[in-house]
Amino acid sequence: MQTRTQRPARPGTTLARRSVAAAAVGATSGAIRQAHGPESATTDRKAAGRMAADCPHAIQRPWVQAAWALVAVALACSAAACSGSRPSGAADAAYSSAAAGPSAAQPGDSGAAAAPPAAQTGGFDGTRAWKYLETIVGFGPRPPASANIHREQKYLASQLRSFGCHVSTDEFHAQTGVGPLAMENIVAEIPGKNPGIILLLSHYDTVRLAGFVGANDGGSSTAILLEIAHDLCGRPGPLGVWIAFLDGEEEQTNFTSEYQAQTTWTANNNTYGSRELAARMDLSGDLKNVKALMLSDMDGDSDLHIMRDSTSTPWLENLVWSVANRLGYSRYFLSSPMSVTDDHTPFLQKGVPAVDLIGNIGPITPEASFGIYWHTLQDNLEHCSAHSLAVTGHVFLATIQALDDKFAPAHHR
């Protein structure tokens, strides 16, 4: 997924993740014909400062040494098995099943064997989600406009239709750092009994680095949302749920090294799919009906840590963290803040309440704020876990229930 630079900042400096200017819309389609090309790429240790200067409207990420003390506290809390209580109010399978959550996977656990029974995770089947992930990774590297991503697109649309979802696709062209590229967003629409939409997002493309399969970055979140679609399609709830699989999130540069992939992030040369979707929904009038947006990104690591994004909408982020705590997952949801620019950013800029559930890829260190395997060839199935897919999926389903309770009370159902 993202950018970013894996370098720790000196006190008082910031690191940029995805630097997208508020007015920039790089994607082009019949509805949106903007011809923004990428600015020159930023690399090496100067990347953060140059991105901050080039993109004054971008949301930046502060990462100072003091934050690591908070991470240490969160991990210590994990060791002490912090847990939450059962929620009050309307009951649902997502809440009522296993309030304490399944037992924790150990670092290094991977594969379907680590998945708890679906009865413990609100109906979310981590074993089935793992099978989706295996299939997706089996396509190989999946950068936009590649043969492999075309195979993935057909697979996603076919699976969604087999679940009974109404599926729409948006084919658009983007002017990128590697030239014009055809891209495609895929959206499953589950109607609701009341006005209002809960929008779920994942990107499904991978970074342009030879041999990079993106099991976690691009793969895990896609598998999670596929399983959520399997659970929800054909079963209308109080609110509509739209599940969008986004193309073109990654930086569109042909990288020649892992180092380059970790230290390059250029304004207007990434997050094409989310900018396209936000613009299209704005033009159609659907955007004003979105009550909440939840983004999944890199949520499959075998030692999962979901970080709290300070740019996300506070009430929605608090709701997600409260749900996670109630389900007994507080050890996976850290309290230390960071600022992230991601696929939720174009929607935040248009006033949509949004939260980014952003995880890690490998152990987090001061030099590797997204994990030591981020944007490396080690982002593979070996370092992912079906248990982590199930934890994230359970929280998504339970939060959807909480949003239904908030915006469509029982007397309106």
Q: What is the DSSP secondary-structure string of 112-130?
A: GGGPPPGGGTTT--HHHHH
Q: Is 220 left (phi over 0), alpha (psi -120 to 50) or beta?
A: alpha
The one-letter amino acid code at 279 reads A
Write out pLDDT tens, residues 198-214: 999 999 999 999 999 99
**What whole-number percentage of the chain has pLDDT above 90?**
67
- On whether residue 1 sits in a domain, the answer given is no
- On whether residue 38 sits in a domain, the answer given is yes
246: its two tokens: 């986004």
What's the structural domain count of the chain?
1
In contact, 116 and 152? CB cutoff 8 Å: no
- On whether residue 9 sits in a domain, the answer given is no
pLDDT at 336 over 90: no
- Averaged pLDDT, 51-70: 35
The one-letter amino acid code at 346 reads P
51: its two tokens: 């991105």
- On whether residue 39 sits in a domain, the answer given is yes
- Choice between 365 and 44, residue whose per-residue pLDDT is larger: 365
Average pLDDT, the chain: 80
CATH number at residue 352: 3.40.630.10
- Averaged pLDDT, 180-198: 97
What pTM value is reported for the model?
Answer: 0.79
> What pLDDT shows up at residue 102?
58
Distance CA(314)–CA(119), nearest Å, equals 30
In contact, 2 and 342? CB cutoff 8 Å: yes
- Residues contacting 325, CB < 8 A, separation 6+: 83, 84, 333
**Residue linked to tokens 């152990």:** 363
pLDDT band at 412 (very low <50, low <70, confident <90, very high): low
In contact, 136 and 128? CB cutoff 8 Å: no
Judged by average pLDDT, the poorest of 48-57, 104-113, 285-294, 379-388 is 48-57
Q: Any idea how long the chain is?
A: 413
pLDDT band at 409 (very low <50, low <70, confident <90, very high): confident
In contact, 44 and 37? CB cutoff 8 Å: no
> What pLDDT shows up at residue 57?
32
Q: Which of 85-99, 108-122, 151-165 has the highest mean pLDDT?
A: 151-165
Write out pLDDT tens, residues 309-334: 999 999 999 999 999 999 999 999 99
> What pLDDT shows up at residue 96?
35
> What pLDDT shows up at residue 112?
54
Distance CA(176)–CA(27), nearest Å, equals 9
295 beta partners: 201, 356
In contact, 204 and 361? CB cutoff 8 Å: no
- On whether residue 127 sits in a domain, the answer given is yes
- Which of 226, 115, 198, 246 lies closest to 401, judged by CA? 198
Distance CA(213)–CA(149), nearest Å, equals 11
CB atoms < 10 A from the CB of 366, how many?
Answer: 15
Write out pLDDT tens, residues 102-152: 555 444 445 654 889 999 999 999 999 999 999 999 999 999 999 999 999
Given the DSSP bridges, would you call strands 306-309 and 333-338 parallel, antiparallel or unpaired? parallel
Range of the domain at 264: 14-412
**Residue linked to tokens 């720790």:** 8
- Averaged pLDDT, 10-26: 33
- On whether residue 35 sits in a domain, the answer given is yes
- On whether residue 163 sits in a domain, the answer given is yes
- On whether residue 58 sits in a domain, the answer given is yes
In contact, 295 and 354? CB cutoff 8 Å: yes
